[in-house]
Structure 1
């Protein structure tokens, strides 16, 4: 007598979910529906135990009964160390996908801009898993709104730049149009020096921790300079002189 082979459950889907810059009212309805549908919610956790993206999501979506999967990443610049952390996190997610459970990976801002969630998506996609992206409000769009300024005119170029890349900053600041310097906080003194050298301080505004309780707004960096300890989530907008 032949024994029937038990069918394996279909693999779960990995969702990269943008939760916006910090204000829970900026989380999209699509993101909320995705989070409430997925049985597993993965979120970055710092070495101190903080899970900022999760705390934002909890204010907008009902995560009662969900499996919460903390994932640990590194701030090291070494690409091999970064990749090892991404592989480890992907393996943690994979155990739930293999059990047929969908996983929503939280990501601050949007999932297409300097997004940790996409590193995992690339690994999982190569391994044969289905991945989907749920966009979110970008930090620099929220910062522009907080500064009550536009990012572009009808013919204005827009450049999104990593503020910590000091070697490329001088060349970037010479570009025409609006420049957005993201994650500038840890290099703030050097970034301010470069802006001053280019005569751009009076055309620059900054917001740290946009939408969070400890938000800091500096509309004109020539009048109210950013503190040297502005923090990781510091975004500067440099407007072209009109």
Structure 2
């Protein structure tokens, strides 16, 4: 008999946004997988432990998930991490992999989920509130009305083509590329477009920062910055 792996979304930052289902899974698990070298460096753990203090007593696996674009090297690391997780599943340990936001949106967890399932083990996903929904709520704005489209864009990659997307553009994890993104938006305004620009860094955390308007976008806002353009 083998254990079950669960990818648990802990939301964007406010521990009160964890779902009841997520809290139940965290309390019941035998082992936590943290995509970081320490608890202190794991955003997801720091959020979750505020909602479920019992996590401080849980056994943890600290795993390296390098933010690289070298597919061969990335695959090798994911295969190694999967092998270690499966070794614990074989011992009938129920494992929770904590991830910030939701596990189905640009989440490291899915690299492992697919591999575990492909090797015949059970894995499931427990949803969390995505950052851009929490950001919209924090700002008190609607992301879309009537027939407007919504486009979710990974802000750390090339975003140039997104300027032609209609409706609302959401740039996730845009902090490291904020200066580049701001320059592109400025060019759009100079070409005659009217844009509403909003951004929130570290939504729901103690160091949360709200920016409204293109002029106040700052290049040092931090990795966990969501930018909304309407």
TM-score by length of 1: 0.88
2:29 touches 2:94 (CA, 8 Å); kept in 1? yes
1:198 aligned counterpart, secondary structure: helix
RMSD: 1.7
Is 1:19–1:56's contact at 8 Å kept on the other side of the alignment?
yes
The number of equivalent residue pairs is 226
Find 1:98's aligned residue among 86, 90, 100.
Answer: 90
Q: Deviations over 1:78-108 (max 9, x none)?
A: 1222222222221221121010011010010
In structure 1, how many angstroms separate the alpha carbons of the residues matched to 2:156 and 2:55?
35
Q: Is the 8 A contact 2:7 2:98 kept in 1?
A: yes
Deviations 1:60-91 (A, max 9, x none): 11325421111111012212222222222212
Aligned to 1:34: 25
Matches within 5 A, 1:89-128: 89-128=81-120
> How far apart are the structure 2 equivalents of 1:31 and 1:80?
33
- Aligned partner of 2:7 among 1, 5, 16: 16
**1:55 aligned residue (18, 26, 46):** 46
Gaps of 5+ in 2: none
Aligned-pair CA distance for 1:216: 1.0
Displacement after TM superposition at 1:170 (Å)? 2.9
TM-score by length of 2: 0.93
Aligned counterpart in structure 2 of residue 220 of structure 1, from 207, 213, 219: 213
1:69 aligns with 2:61: yes
Report 1:50-199 matches (<5 A).
Answer: 50-61=41-52, 62-63=54-55, 65-166=57-158, 169-199=159-189
Deviation at 1:165, TM superposition (A): 2.2
Is the contact made by 1:54 and 1:106 (CA closer than 8 Å) also made in structure 2?
A: yes
Aligned-pair CA distance for 1:111: 0.8
Aligned counterparts of 1:164 and 1:63: Cα–Cα separation in 2 = 31
Q: Does 1:210 align with 2:191?
A: no
Q: Which runs of 4+ in 1 moved over 4 A?
A: 46-49
Deviations 1:133-172 (A, max 9, x none): 0000000101111111111112111100111222xx2321
Pair member with larger Rg: 1
- For the residue of structure 2 that corresponds to 1:129, the secondary structure is coil
Measure the CA separation in 2 of the matches of 1:48 and 1:204.
34
